[in-house]
Amino acid sequence: MSLLLSIGGWDIDAWDRRFKSFAPGIRIQHAGASDLDLSAVDYGVAWQSEPGLFARCPNLKAVFSLGAGVDHLMRDPDLPDVPVLRIVDPNLTMRMTEWVTLQVLLHHRQQSLLDQAQRAADWRDLPQWSADEVRVGILGLGNLGRDSADVLARLGFQVAGWSRSKKQIPGLDSFAGADELDAFLARTDILVCLLPLTPETVGILNYDLFSKLARTGPLGAPVIINAGRGGQQVEADILRALDDGTLHAASLDVFNQEPLASDSPFWAHPKVYLTPHLAAESHPDHMCRNILDQIAAYERGEPFKNRVDMTTGY
């Protein structure tokens, strides 16, 4: 059994060590090594990998994305016709739900005003409202969106979701497709984006969409929270909407360019809550086990789980 690790932007050695400790008999090769034996590769393991690499592996059985998102693989024009698998793992889901819940609560409880008041030794009596007065809308009701929706609904928020297909989820209003997007936006005070990046979702978070969000919530203007992908947001439109009051605030974990340039106006913007693409880290302890379990099941003759639909791109 041989894996080819093609990992950009992360510490490849951490993945190498974990795969070797969980499956000592496995052969691990690293993309970029001078003595690569591509004909021996059974499975590719990728994050921001080198385009064209997997096309040169004649015996490849599948490619695993190291994250939930597979846009990095879809960008490879020479991706071979083998199953592409994405990560669905309770550890990653839990991390995303923590991040989304944190961001929603930071806005809901006006934490940045309280931080300012604390620094000014100001015992400020801010108006308070409860979660059931706030409407959260989640773009994307997949593995991540559904879990966040569930936790936020249990906190008392009025939660709705938007996806391609209609869902039957107790306690959640489901909107589907382009025809129902405007109605979903019109009832949303805090918009969370957990969509995959596909040709259909590029630039979806734009000024036109922001202007359709509800303006009757307790915060006075809507909030956006994006942990999907930077390519879904038109960054000039976010700045314009924050500056002219169309948006109250934005929490952003993902950006068009990552790492974010040091001169980006987002860093110092008073209405921006920024995190450096860490909403839900892919941790080697959990992801390596997940991938090795999938491989073992496949080698026993079971079908792969979480296979990407190459027609929709997610």
Which residues are annotated as catalytic?
Answer: 229, 277
Beta strand spans in 97-247 (E): 135-139, 158-163, 173-176, 190-193, 223-226
Q: What residue is closest to ligand OXD based on CB?
A: 67
Q: Which of 44, 67, 161, 222 binds ligand OXD (CB under 6 A)?
A: 67
* By the rule CB under 6 A, 233 interacts with ligand OXD: no
**Would you say 193 and 226 are in contact if contact means Cβ atoms under 8 Å apart?**
yes
* By the rule CB under 6 A, 187 interacts with ligand NDP: no
Number of other residues whose CB lies within 10 A of the CB of residue 39: 11
* By the rule CB under 6 A, 141 interacts with ligand NDP: yes
Partner from ligand NDP, ligand OXD, none binding residue 197, C-beta < 5-8 Å depending on class: ligand NDP
Measure the CA–CA gap between 166 and 183, rounded to whole angstroms.
14
Residues 54-73 that bind ligand NDP (CB under 6 A): 67-69
**Would you say 66 and 89 are in contact if contact means Cβ atoms under 8 Å apart?**
no
* By the rule CB under 6 A, 198 interacts with ligand NDP: yes
Reported as type and span, the H/E element at residue 118 is helix 111-119
Partner from ligand OXD, ligand NDP, none binding residue 27, C-beta < 5-8 Å depending on class: none
* By the rule CB under 6 A, 227 interacts with ligand NDP: yes
Quick one: how many helices (H) and strands (E) in the chain?
9, 12
Q: Which of 282, 290, 294, 306 binds ligand OXD (CB under 6 A)?
A: 282
Q: Which of 46, 104, 149, 195 binds ligand NDP (CB under 6 A)?
A: 195
Q: Which stretch binds ligand NDP (CB under 6 A): 138-146, 243-251, 258-266, 286-294?
A: 138-146
Number of other residues whose CB lies within 10 A of the CB of residue 36: 16
Measure the CA–CA gap between 161 and 175, rounded to whole angstroms.
6
Measure the CA–CA gap between 85 and 67, rounded to whole angstroms.
10
Nearest to 44 by CA among 58, 57, 63: 63
Q: Taking CA 132 as the corner, what is the angle to CA 155 and CA 272, rounded to the nearest 5 degrees?
A: 75
DSSP 8-class letter at 130: -
Cβ distance to ligand OXD smaller for residue 65 or 188: 65
Which residue matches tokens 């110092």? 268
Q: Which stretch binds ligand OXD (CB under 6 A): 64-72, 133-141, 267-275, 297-305?
A: 64-72
* By the rule CB under 6 A, 137 interacts with ligand NDP: no
Residues 72-101 that bind ligand NDP (CB under 6 A): 96
Q: Which residues bind to ligand NDP, rule: CB under 6 A?
A: 67-69, 96, 140-145, 162-165, 194-198, 200-201, 227-229, 253-254, 277, 279-280, 314
Q: Which residues bind to ligand OXD, rule: CB under 6 A?
A: 67-69, 280, 282
